[in-house]
Amino acid sequence: MILNITTDFSLFASSIELRCQFISSNDTVLQEKQVPWMEYDREVRVELSVPSTVKEGRVVIKPVKSPNSNSDSNFLSTFLGGETAHIVSVETSLFSLAAFSRNDTVYRTFYLPSGPLRIAEQSGETIIRHVWDAGIILSAALICNPPSALPRPLQPFITAVMPRSGKLKVLEVGCGVGILGVSIAAAFPQSQVVMTDLSDAQSLVEENIHLNSAKFPHLKQNAAFRALDWEMEIYPEWTVTDRYDLIVMADVTYNTATFIPLVKTLQHLLRNGSRGSKVICCGKQRHDEEEGFWRLVAESGFMIDSRIIFGMDLEGNFRHCISEEKEYGEQLIDFVCMHI
């Protein structure tokens, strides 16, 4: 087995211990090994000896709990199951050892106040079929209960857009595998959530709705996928006729080529069916060109109600940034609320 740890496809600049397990079909741990991941590693090879009588099993990889995270990151570590504040466990589906075939689908488990949420994604360096960092962070913030577990500057931001009743119609733009939309729909049964992206995303979004329907039966009624291509000048009829109270998006500003189509799509939504709605966005700053998106937003008639920037360190701890200067090893996380 070869492990490759990334953060949005860049090298992981930290060190951590990982517990690798091979688990049988009856949930018995047959082999376990703890391996160190050092920040200079690109990949780590792990050998697990499996008895020849075993015909099938699954692999589970979990971080060993870190003692260095502080209470400011409780909302994120709680969403990740309390193991660490910044590393997400992963597992494969059950596979045969007798006739092994490649399966690129892996699963991550997140934890809502009402129970665990299982999200499928495609392993490897994919984009549209991958769980991205800001989608995890915004999901954790929106479903956090009580809101007092959030970093203090973030509390009024979240409570202003997400009432605890959750009785909202929510549209997600650029949903990927649907972690944000499915989390909202699962945590707030009275919500109605429509997740949108290119049609390539539909199969995994619908799989993730189905995966969680036994635990959250209301997902069958309050969560759905619709194709929405930002590049299309003629938008679907439902974007004109259907009203949404809140539009959410995460990790949508990494590609400068999509800035203009995305802004035009948001303008269309807010000037038609969703007139007067709020838009909230969470993103991890990857390059300086991303700031051009917010300049374009301002030039296109949007009003920024609130913009909060946090530095997240290698242990998942959040630091409110007064300026956009980051410290060593930090990633900058943007929270933005706007309207027309």
In a domain, 45, yes or no: no
Instruction: Count Cα neighbours of 222 within 13 Å in the Cβ-side half-sphere.
Output: 23
Predicted pLDDT at 68: 59
In a domain, 16, yes or no: no
Closest CA to 135 of 84, 187, 188, 174: 174
Alpha carbon 297 to chain centroid distance?
23
Predicted pLDDT at 152: 93
In a domain, 4, yes or no: no
pLDDT along the chain (340 residues), means of 10: 71 81 94 89 85 90 72 77 81 86 88 96 81 94 93 95 88 97 97 97 97 98 98 94 97 95 98 96 92 96 96 85 80 95
Q: Please, are residues 231 and 261 in contact by the beta-carbon 8 Å criterion?
A: yes
- Reading the block at residue 285, the tokens are 């700053």
In a domain, 155, yes or no: yes
Q: Please, are residues 81 and 91 in contact by the beta-carbon 8 Å criterion?
A: no
Give the containing element (helix H, strand E) for 41. none
- The values of phi and psi at residue 55, to 5°, are -100, -25
User: 């934890």: which residue's tokens?
Assistant: 111
The number of domains in the chain is: 1
Distance (Å) of CA 122 to CA 8, 146, 188: 13, 32, 26
In a domain, 276, yes or no: yes
Q: What is the DSSP letter of 300?
A: T
Predicted pLDDT at 185: 98
Tell me, yes or no, if the pTM score tops 0.85: yes
Torsion over CA: 52, 54, 57, 63 (sign): negative
In a domain, 40, yes or no: no
In a domain, 159, yes or no: yes
Q: What is the DSSP letter of 22?
A: E
CATH number at residue 134: 3.40.50.150
Show the 3-state SS of 232-296: CCCCCCHHHHCCCCEEEEECCCCCHHHHHHHHHHHHHHHHCCCCCCEEEEEEECCCHHHHHHHHH
In a domain, 246, yes or no: yes
Q: CB atoms < 10 A from the CB of 299, how many?
A: 9
Torsion over CA: 186, 7, 318, 62 (sign): positive
**Domain ranges, residue 290:** 66-96+103-339
The type of residue at 103 is N
Predicted pLDDT at 10: 65
